[in-house]
Structure 1
Amino acid sequence: MMHAFPCGTLPLDFVGTCRARRNEVPVEKLAAPGQLDAWFVESGMFDTVPGADATDLDVAVDLREAIYALVASRLDGQPMPTRAIAEVNRHAAGLPVTLRLHPSGATRTGSVAQGLAALAREAVEILGGDDAALLRECARPECTQVYLDRSRGYRREWCAMRTCGNRVKAATYRARQHGGAGS
C-alpha cells in the first residue's frame, strides 16, 4: 500500500496525503497522477483506477488544500475562508461515484471528478455538522494529520496509535530512561 488511512474518514485521510506540513519541505504523497489513482483504489472509493492525469492531480491537490484550510480554520476557531468554501461546494455539486450491481456483486467506479465530489460532500457533512467539534490534530509535533476524536471522553491524542502514538510513547520512555541513567 502506498497510502495510509488512520483517520476513519476519507476527506481527512485525503488531507493527510500532504504530511508534516510544518516542515520546511512537507511530504507530498500525491506527487504523480498514479499516486492519486492508487489513493482512490486503496481507500476503497473505487474498485478500478480512475485514470488520473496531470490536470486531475492539480484539481485534486487544490481540493485537498481547500479542505485543509477549512479544517485548520475550525481547529483555530477562526471563520472559514470563503474561497475554500466555494472550492469545496463546487466539487460537492459534482456527480456521485458510479455503483453497479452485477451477478457476482457490486462495483464502484468513476472519474477523478466523481471521487473528488464524494470527498467534498463528506467534507461538507463534517465541517458543517456536529462532527466539526470533534476535529483534532495529531499531538505528535512532526505530524499534521487531522482526525475526528470519537474516543470515550474525547481524549484521543494521535492520528493513529500504531504510528504516532507508539513513536511518542517510545520517545517519552527513552527520555525517562536517559534522564534516569545519570542519577
Structure 2
Amino acid sequence: MMHAFPGGTPALDFAGTLRYRHRSEPREDLSSPESLGVWFRESGIAEHEIPCEATDLRAALALREAVHRLILARMAGAAYDRDALALVNAYARKPTPVPQLGATGRHVEATLEQAFAAVARDAVAVLGGPDAALLKECGNPECSQVYVDRSRGARREWCAMDPCGNKIKAAAYRARKRMSGQKTG
C-alpha cells in the first residue's frame, strides 16, 4: 500500500495525507494526480484508481485543507471557517459512489466528483455525529494525524503503533535506561 489509513474514517485519513504538519517541512502523500487516484482505490472509496489531472489534484488539496480546518475547529470547540464549511457542504450535496452487485461480487465504480463527495459526506458524518467527541491528534509531537479513539477508556495515544507508537515507546525506553545509567544495547 502506498498510503496509510490510521484515522478510522476516510475523511480523517484524507486530511492526514499531508503528514507531519508540525514539522517545518511536512510530507505530502498526494504529490501527483496518480497518487490521488491510488488513494481513492486504497481507501476503498473506489474499486479502481480514478484517472486524475493536475486540476483535480488542486481541487483535492483544497478539499483536504477544508476538511482539516473543520476537524481542528471541532476539536478546539471553535467556530467553523465559513469557506471550509461551504466547500465541504458543496461536495457533500453531490452524489457518492454506489456499490453494485455483480456475478463476481460487490464492486464500486466512482467518478472523481463522487469520490470527493464521499470524503465530504464522511467529514459531515464524523464532525456532526457521536464520533466527534472521540477525535484525538496523535501523541507523537511530529505527527499531526487525527483519529477516532474508540479504545477502551479512550486511552489510545497514537494514530498507529507503526511508526508513531513504536517511535515514542523506544525513545521513552532509551530515556529510562539513560536515567538509570544502563546501556541501551
Question: Where on the TM-score scale, by shorter chain, does this alignment land: which range?
Answer: over 0.9
Stretches of structure 1 that go unaligned for 5 or more consecutive residues are none
TM superposition score normalised by structure 2? 0.94
Percentage identity across paired residues of the two chains: 49
Distance in 2, matches of 1:22 and 1:65, equals 15
2:116 counterpart of 1:108: no
Aligned counterparts, 1:124-143, within 5 A: 124-143=124-143
The one-letter code matched in structure 2 to 1:24 is S
Aligned to 1:119: 119
Query: 2:40 is paired with a residue of what secondary structure?
Result: helix
Name the count of aligned residue pairs: 183
2:169 counterpart of 1:169: yes
Aligned to 1:31: 31
Stretches of structure 2 that go unaligned for 5 or more consecutive residues are none
Distance in 2, matches of 1:38 and 1:53, equals 13
Q: Following TM superposition, by how much is the alpha carbon of 1:111 offset from its aligned partner in structure 2, in angstroms?
A: 1.2
Distance in 1, matches of 2:23 and 2:132, equals 26
Distance in 1, matches of 2:141 and 2:89, equals 31
Distance in 1, matches of 2:162 and 2:12, equals 18
Distance in 2, matches of 1:124 and 1:7, equals 15
1:55-102 alpha-carbon deviations (Å, 9 max, x no partner): 111111111100100011112221111111111000101111132221
Aligned to 2:64: 64
Aligned to 1:153: 153
The one-letter code matched in structure 2 to 1:76 is A
Distance in 1, matches of 2:80 and 2:154, equals 23
Distance in 2, matches of 1:122 and 1:53, equals 24
Q: C-alpha root-mean-square deviation of aligned residues, in Å? A: 1.4
